[in-house]
Structure 1
Amino acid sequence: MDQLYLYVALIGVGFVLFALTRTKAKTVSQATGAPQQERELKMALDEFMNGLEEENARLLDSFTRLQVEYKQQFGTQQQQIEELIERVAELEGRLTEVETQPSSPPVPEPKVSTAPTTVSGFAFNEKYARVAELIRQGQTPEQIARFTGIGIGEIQMVIGLSEREES
């Protein structure tokens, strides 16, 4: 048991010595380097704060620029929308005018005789006789093609034959 007290006493003395040497080292370092460390810490903190302020200023400028661009773009789009609305209203007005105007009567299909016609000994069938009749009435080949469903080449051939007959 005596040994136990001896070990406990030795451990206690070791702690006291350690504590005394530790506080001396701290007070020596604080006395010589404390103001310099404070200055370094203060400078680092000032640099950090200046960096934050610069970054905030850049972000604020970017945000302001984006806000101005957005307002301009929004204004342009609003103007385009208003122009489109006006155009739609104008076109709707024109459409109602066209709908309310009496429509012109449809062009009657010319009457064609169904009897075969001969041109210089060439007998036309009903289809070509109708083309010849429309030619005599002064219709254009495109109009005749629409009425009869015959190709323009065939119509021109009939026109050529009709001209030969007349001369």
Structure 2
Amino acid sequence: MDQVYLILIGAGIIIMLLAFFLQRKTPDDAAAIPTQRLTDKAETEKSLQRLSKQFKQETALLSAEWQETRADLLHEIDLLKKRVEQLEQQWNERAAHAQVAASAEQGQANGAQPAAEDVDMLALRERYRRVFELSREGLSPDEIAKRLGAGRGEIDLIFALAQRNERGFADA
């Protein structure tokens, strides 16, 4: 039994010594934690500075690319405007030549061919005639518009003009 007491007393002394040493190391660990936090903070700040510097460099590169692309596009737009002006000038010249040629041909034929206005008027009259023909067949204005490939507003206008024209004859 005495040996049990000796073992218990020895274990108690060992536990007390371990507790003493652990208490002593704890303040050292506590001092190490703020130092570690300071190094972590410094590393984080350095990383943020590197990231900020990299971001500024990339922004500068993208800005330069954007400016270059913008300048290229403006140059292309100028070239296209000039090309359009050239094409319009050529178009106007050809239209003037065609008009002169048509006038010359018309002068040579001495009225053998109908003028362009007469052709347009004939086509318009034929279109009106077809609208009224389909109306007499009982088709609605929507169906007439679909069949002739015209807009509903055009069909309504034709009917409105015809009614106004009929009223004009009735008044006379």
- Taking structure 2 as the reference length, the TM-score comes to 0.39
- Taking structure 1 as the reference length, the TM-score comes to 0.40
- The answer to which structure has the higher helix fraction is 2
Report the structure number with the largest CA radius of gyration.
1
Higher relative contact order (CA 8 A, sep 6+): 1
